[in-house]
Copies of this chain bind each other. A is one copy, B any other.
Amino acid sequence: MISIKDIAKALSVSPSSVSLVLTGKAKERRISEALIEKIIAKAAEMGYQPNRAAVSLRTGKSKTIGLIVENISNHFFSSLAHTIQEEARHFHYNVVYCSTENDAQKGKEVLQLLTNHQVDGYIITPTLGMETEIENLVKWKKPLVLMDRCFPGMDVPYVMVDNYKGVQLGMEYLIKKGSCKIGFVTVDLDLLHMKEREKAYIDTLKKHDIKFIKEKILRLTYDVSKEEAVKQITVFIKNAKDLEGVFFSTNYLGIYGLLSLRELNLNIPADLKVICFDDHDVFELFQPSITVIQQPIHEIAQTALKLLVAQLGHTKPLRDKQILIAPKLIIRSST
């Protein structure tokens, strides 16, 4: 690897001049046009590339953003990651990502890892149990944005879809279509965004004077296996024989649900209407195609980066730091 010193030596000038030119501070230090050109040409010729470790050590800035998601192999998160990385490139930032698998221990570990790597800012999909760590980042004034979920009452910038609104949208639609007996299949996680989805389900029923029966909610554990989930959903739907509609609160639950529905051999939407939170290729292709509440992934990712870049001082601060993105009801054939 060729260094600033090498260029300086080759040109018989001081390393400082080379550094100044290469970091674009030549003008304000009034270095001669001639020297500037000579240095730039030589650097290109020798194929100079700055050693980021050295820059990082010296400046305290790594030009790296740390991204923590739940699971990078999940389509929702990998799409977010992809967009964030694309957007970050415009600002010459790199992205280092980690997955938590929704495990607090692992979440803390990867956060520590990113901190060790001196990332300049964080975009985090937090797990339950990371509250203290997140608050510490705030205390140390680290640029930070929460994504997809947040903690109640914590004053941190965040972007997420309006979960309440999303479920409300879907429920209103089901009800408009004539369903009253609607089941809700969700995951047993104590995270705000899941609570919001459930709350919207209950509230919308109440708003329409439909009595809420708690047996109409199925809560699966987060780590349930595919087989077990399919079994439980099948039993749930079979037991609630008079069900007219079912709402799946996440896309992977929806996919499990489709497997169950296939086993039950139900006629959709005639026997049972189906709607799912969060879109997926499967839902478009399934017969009948499935109505969903779509999260604008691109917009979420872009907004997260926008909030972060503002904190990093590259753009003006945004007026709102806690942003709810409007979900979209995509009507297909299952409702």
Contact = CB atoms under 8 A, between A and B. Distances in A.
Nearest to A255: B281
Given A81-B72, A282-B281, A286-B285, A116 B258 contact: no
Interface string A266-289: 000000000000001110011100
A68 to B, nearest CB: 12
A53 B49 contact: no
A85 interface: yes
Given A72-B72, A75-B75, A52 B117 contact: yes
A49 B119 CA distance: 14
Contacts of A44: none
Interface residues of A, number: 43
A78 interface: yes
Contacts of A17: none
List the 6 closest A-B pairs by CB distance, nearest first: A78-B78, A53-B56, A73-B82, A53-B57, A73-B79, A73-B78
A54 interface: yes
24 contacts: A49-B116, A51-B116, A52-B117, A52-B118, A53-B53, A53-B57, A53-B62, A54-B57, A64-B117, A72-B72, A72-B78, A72-B85, A73-B79, A75-B75, A75-B78, A85-B99, A94-B96, A94-B113, A94-B117, A255-B281, A281-B281, A282-B282, A282-B285, A286-B286
